[in-house]
């Protein structure tokens, strides 16, 4: 690989130039190998935040991140593979329902998930509320579970795009997280390296999401779809609303309980709607959608009907057992609870997602630093969704914590987050756009 002068590359990017592919490959390889210092890469990343990347630059940057580690080979599995990634939100327990549902419909789902940071929850933190469940799987065990059960939810292996791990830690402490090319390449390098044949992205937008601008959400979705498609992964995206938290719970153990209720054929309507919408696209990309048929020649299953039947719950139980968990074990319960009453009688017209997420975080469900522990039983449950009727003084939100002293700050976070009106608010769409 040709050698370059890192300072020259920083200057070029600072001045708005587009770097050639061999320079980008050298820069990332040198940084991963310790030959480019953190402060030099931080300067380069800040220049990217100012000037962005061209499509060619971003393709080369993502390819170099993938090349920094291994790429899993999932060929030969008895089912077509398809995965899903969410950019994160409050109450987003979709993966816990979606993965076993799509498996129940005939696909294999190798979902590498992450942990929460700040007020948005992490799928691995939720799953670890299940006694005995383990997130770490090596590639051989992952393949075996996929072949036998059909689905895994696990931590991304250390060998997948290791350059991204170093870059993300550096971006986190240098104010360079908010760059769409850097966000897109961080997500897609790991998903492409994971080896799945198809991918659906859930790009959330609103007060409880990383993206608060609809225009930015569209740009991020288009960028990631293009990266996946160019890398040979069939990729589509939904842009979904996150001004109101999803479902009726936020936290880790509380969200697992709600996911299980949904897998048994119940669950809140908004969670079911988002899950089924994503499942239909995943099945289409896996070749199992309408118009296709299974090996028996029977029509492809309808994910809405499969979910309502409770069939996905049996897959969930098998998935939990395969990763060391006990699906029959009781979930952690909080030591303390506190009720927040409805402020007035009428219709709930607003429940602000970010405020709910911050409250859950303050109760112990989230972390301020990646090394912090989370409290499995901590979180919230709300007893009414937007558009439903409430009565003044009756319970609206219930807080859960193992530390009673966390309640005042959680209640403070919810101040101004709830609005009640005399007339029922107009319903707002959950799915805002479909990016192909």
Phi and psi at 192, nearest 5°, equal -70, -40
435 forms bridges with which residues in the sheet?
237
Using alpha carbons, select from 244, 288, 286 the residue that is nearest to residue 268: 244
Q: How many CB atoms neighbour CB 3 within 10 A?
A: 8
**Residue entry with tokens 């696990």:** 154
Given a contact cutoff of 8 angstroms between Cβ atoms, the answer to whether 151 and 109 are in contact is: yes
Given a contact cutoff of 8 angstroms between Cβ atoms, the answer to whether 46 and 174 are in contact is: yes
> How distant, in Å, are the alpha carbons of 13, 105, 304, 319 from that of 316?
48, 13, 16, 5
Catalytic residue among 115, 171, 204, 317: 171
CB contact set of 181 (below 8 Å; sequence gap of 6+): 48, 52, 53, 57, 58, 61, 223
CA distance 296 to 289: 15
Given a contact cutoff of 8 angstroms between Cβ atoms, the answer to whether 319 and 149 are in contact is: yes
Catalytic residue among 13, 165, 190, 218: 190
Is position 317 annotated as part of the catalytic site? Answer: no
Is position 190 annotated as part of the catalytic site? Answer: yes
Catalytic residue among 186, 197, 207, 401: 186
Is position 179 annotated as part of the catalytic site? Answer: no
Given a contact cutoff of 8 angstroms between Cβ atoms, the answer to whether 44 and 179 are in contact is: no
Catalytic residue among 13, 85, 93, 362: 85
Element (H, E) at 391: none
Taking the alpha carbons at both ends of the chain, their separation in whole angstroms is 36
Pairing outcome for strands 336-341 and 389-390: unpaired
Query: E-assigned strands of 315-416?
Result: 336-341, 346-351, 379-382, 389-390, 395-401
Given a contact cutoff of 8 angstroms between Cβ atoms, the answer to whether 379 and 386 are in contact is: no
What the block records as the tokens of 209 is: 């999401």
Given a contact cutoff of 8 angstroms between Cβ atoms, the answer to whether 150 and 316 are in contact is: no
Q: What order of strands is seen across the sheet that includes strand 83-86?
A: 83-86, 198-205, 234-241, 431-435
**What is the three-class DSSP state of 218?**
helix
399 forms bridges with which residues in the sheet?
338, 380
Catalytic residue among 59, 83, 125, 164: 164
Is position 85 annotated as part of the catalytic site? Answer: yes
Q: What order of strands is seen across the sheet that includes strand 389-390?
A: 389-390, 346-351, 418-421
340 forms bridges with which residues in the sheet?
397
The catalytic residue positions are 85, 164, 171, 186, 190
């Amino acid at each position: 690989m040709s050698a370059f002068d890192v300072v020259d590359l920083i200057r070029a990017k600072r001045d708005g130039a587009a770097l050639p592919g061999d320079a980008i490959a050298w820069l990332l390889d040198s940084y991963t190998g310790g030959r480019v210092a953190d402060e030099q890469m931080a300067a380069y990343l800040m220049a990217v935040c100012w000037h962005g990347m061209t499509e060619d630059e971003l393709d080369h940057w993502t390819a170099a991140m993938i090349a920094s580690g291994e790429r899993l080979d999932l060929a030969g599995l008895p089912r077509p593979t398809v995965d899903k990634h969410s950019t994160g939100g409050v109450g987003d327990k979709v993966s816990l329902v979606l993965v076993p549902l799509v498996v129940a419909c005939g696909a294999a789902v190798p979902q590498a998930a992450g942990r929460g940071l700040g007020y948005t929850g992490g799928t691995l933190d939720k799953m670890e509320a299940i006694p005995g469940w383990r997130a770490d799987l090596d590639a051989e065990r992952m393949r075996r579970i996929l072949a036998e059960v059909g689905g895994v939810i696990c931590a991304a292996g250390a060998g997948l795009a290791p350059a991204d791990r170093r870059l993300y830690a550096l971006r986190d402490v240098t104010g360079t997280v908010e760059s769409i090319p850097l966000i897109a390449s961080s997500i897609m390098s790991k998903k492409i390296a994971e080896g799945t044949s198809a991918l659906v992205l859930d790009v959330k937008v609103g007060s409880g999401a990383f993206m608060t601008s609809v225009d930015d959400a569209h740009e991020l979705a288009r960028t990631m779809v293009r990266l996946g498609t160019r890398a040979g992964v069939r990729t589509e995206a939904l842009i979904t609303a996150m001004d109101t938290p999803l479902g009726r719970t936020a936290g880790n153990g509380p969200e697992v309980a709600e996911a299980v209720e949904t897998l048994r054929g119940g669950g809140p309507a908004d969670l079911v709607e988002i899950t089924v919408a994503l499942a239909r696209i995943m099945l289409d990309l896996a070749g199992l959608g309408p118009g296709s048929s299974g090996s028996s020649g029977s029509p492809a299953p309808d994910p809405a009907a499969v979910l309502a039947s409770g069939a996905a719950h049996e897959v969930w139980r098998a998935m939990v057992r395969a990763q060391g968990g006990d699906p029959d074990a009781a979930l952690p319960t909080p030591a303390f609870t506190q009720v927040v009453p409805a402020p007035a009688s009428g219709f709930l017209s607003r429940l602000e997602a970010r405020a709910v997420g911050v409250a859950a975080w303050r109760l112990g469900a989230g972390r301020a630093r990646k090394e912090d522990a989370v409290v499995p039983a901590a979180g919230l449950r709300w007893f009414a969704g937007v558009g439903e009727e409430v009565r003044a003084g009756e319970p609206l939100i219930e807080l859960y914590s193992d530390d009673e002293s966390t309640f005042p700050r959680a209640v403070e976070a919810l101040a101004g987050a709830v609005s009640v009106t005399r007339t029922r608010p107009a319903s707002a769409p959950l799915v805002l756009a479909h990016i192909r």
